[in-house]
Amino acid sequence: MELEVRHLRALCAIADTGSLHKAARQLGMSQPSLTTQLRRIENALGAELFSRERTGCRPTPLGHSVLSRARPLVSGMATLVAEARAAADRSAGPRLRVGSTASRVLAGWLRRLRHRLPGTDISLHMDVSPSALLRMVAAGQLDMAFVHEVEGCPLAVPDGLAHRVLVEREPQFVSMARDHPAAARQVVELADLAGDRWMVDPTVDGEWDGLRRVLGAAGLNPRVVHGDYLTAASLIAVGEAVAPCQPTSGPRDDMVIRPLRDDPLAVRLLLFSRISPVDGAVGDGAPGERALEAAVFADLEAAYREAALRAVDYRRWLTRHKSPLLHAPAA
């Protein structure tokens, strides 16, 4: 078996995520397939590259050596492909490639971007992992990425990226069944949810670590269910679990969204883009590139305000905290 770039990319993904499950999800393949691929790579090299531990995968000394050679090759190939595609895109017309983690803001943002940039091919790439999106921006596969950073779990930001802060500290609310005893309160205490199962998606960067830190600080050790948030919604609706959620989340007949007392869970919302080595410009340094990035950010701000004020419980929270967001001019 000869090693290919896709094999090296798989090794880097396993090392970056520390987990076969997370790496498989990032690569868009099943965990058994990735496990089999890793076994074949190790057989071809004659030794283990990762030690499998209860907490995940750790590179062996040989693994570190292979990774040190693999990363520049993977990065170089990504740059080659990105530059070739960018050259093709320039000949085909204007294009804006946007990445994002899940957000209620996206629909309003895309609507504004299409209005601002008629004739521009605007594409959206979604991923649960902010880190994966940042790597795509750094590699030139995306122009910008709108991501969240869980408080206490800083993102690993690749070199060459600039960012603007949309919201310095966005509180995370909690979703629960409409007939949950705590649902009658406008503000919920963490202690009110001590007997509930908490559901969290461990593939979202920092999500589980952030929740575990907050629950531990409150002296709570509730049962935890790991799964995606699409599955979580159906379990929450029937009272099988509660889960952290964005304050801009929309209402449902079978669920309610409530803020937590003192807002112990929070994220920072950021828009990342590349910095050119030429004059510190964004993107490829072309004229007007920085003005475009500023306009895109302005549209994101307006879309966020629209989504925030539409969410009843978040609007109440903003009013209690006298947020300037309430008085910002509409875009």
Q: What is the DSSP letter of 128?
A: S
Span 71-83, pLDDT tens digits: 888 888 877 877 7
Nearest Cα neighbor of 267 from 173, 136, 142 is: 173
Phi, psi of 33 (to 5 degrees): -65, -40
Looking at every residue in the chain, the average pLDDT score rounds to 87
- Indicate the length of the chain as a whole number: 331
186: its two tokens = 């406008």
The mean pLDDT value for 157-184 works out to 94
Strand order in the sheet with 121-126: 121-126, 95-100, 144-150, 266-274, 161-171
Tens digits of residue pLDDT in 126-140: 998 899 999 999 988
Please give the DSSP secondary-structure letter assigned to residue 328. S
DSSP per position, 279-317:
TT-BTT--TTHHHHHHHHHHHHHHHHHHHHHHSHHHHHH
The 10 Å Cβ neighbour count of residue 195 is 10
What are the residue ranges of helices labelled H in 93-196? Answer: 106-116, 130-138
Do residues 237 and 59 lie in contact, with contact meaning Cβ atoms separated by under 8 Å? no
Instruction: Give the tens place of pLDDT for each residue, 240-263.
Output: 999 999 999 877 889 999 999 999
CB 199 within 8 A of CB 227: yes
The pLDDT, as a whole number, for residue 281 is: 38
* pLDDT for 176: 95
Q: Which two tokens stand for residue 1?
A: 């078996």
Task: Give the C-alpha separation, 287 to 310, whole Å.
Answer: 37
Give the pLDDT confidence of 140-149 residue by residue, as tens digits: 889 999 999 9
Q: Is the pLDDT of residue 195 over 50?
A: yes
Q: For the residues 197-215, what does the mean pLDDT come to?
A: 89
